[in-house]
Amino acid sequence: MTASTHTALITGASAGIGATFARHLAARGYHLLLVARRADRLQELAAELTQQHGAQRYEVFAADLTDPAAPAAILGYADERGLDIDVLINNAGLSGKTAFADTPWDTLAAEIQLMVTAQTELAHLVIPGMKKRGWGRIINLSSVAAFAPPAASLLYTGIKSYVLNISQALDMELKPHGIHVTALCPGFTHTEFHDVMGTRDQANHLPRIMWQQPEAVVTEGWDAVMKGKPVCIPGIVNKISAAAMKPLPVRLGYLAGKTLNPFKNS
């Protein structure tokens, strides 16, 4: 099966790592189903890709993955359009920015729905077809935070730890069927993420050496999933950070997470 016959579903495709994955895969001959909330941004990206790589199909589907009905709607659209999903890039994400106790439950539930339930459901929906065709690639966006101590108030580290663990579990199960699953665990990346979350001021105080460009993250992540690596930590600084954080005893890890988190709430 050649790349030109493959279709990739990318969530959170309107900007940042998601849009970078779209450009990366389009340049390699993949058809794309681009998903995000902002239809106008998706259409702009599809037009850009069509101009540069006109031979492929670039479908757009506006969906809010905090809506429990969204995953089934996305795959329903793919079926209607005759698209077999061979690659899934589970990229859509966000992070809370207020204390847990002060955050409305609907907001917390939306965060869990987006980064835990929807990610898991999308994988569950596409895997049967991948198994039938004997080939598939899934990248789930985790974070170097998955290796970090818990952070006060935030669900983010727990969610990203789940993504790291479930990705490895799925890779163990599915590799015999020709399907590779990789948890991509970037650190600080130059995207709109911190602007949307309202944490740009804190992020700007971090040393420049800690930051990566999304192109570097995507290149390393795609290379990892194609080689069958279940975990990818892009960038030497992130690799060192993850290796340093993992051996911490539970008590020290808790204290480090409580005191060193640059985005902790006052």
- Which active-site residues does the annotation give? 156, 160
Q: What is the 3-class SS of 89-133, one letter each residue?
A: EECCCCCCCCCHHHCCHHHHHHHHHHHHHHHHHHHHHHHHHHHHH
**237/133 Cα distance (integer angstroms):** 38
Distances 13 to 67, 86, 124, 138, 192 between C-alpha atoms, Å: 17, 17, 20, 15, 12
Q: Which two tokens stand for residue 184?
A: 């991509």
SS (H, E, C) 173-204: HHHHHCEEEEEECCCEECCCHHHHHCCHHHHH
* 38: nearest Cα among 56, 58, 57, 65: 65
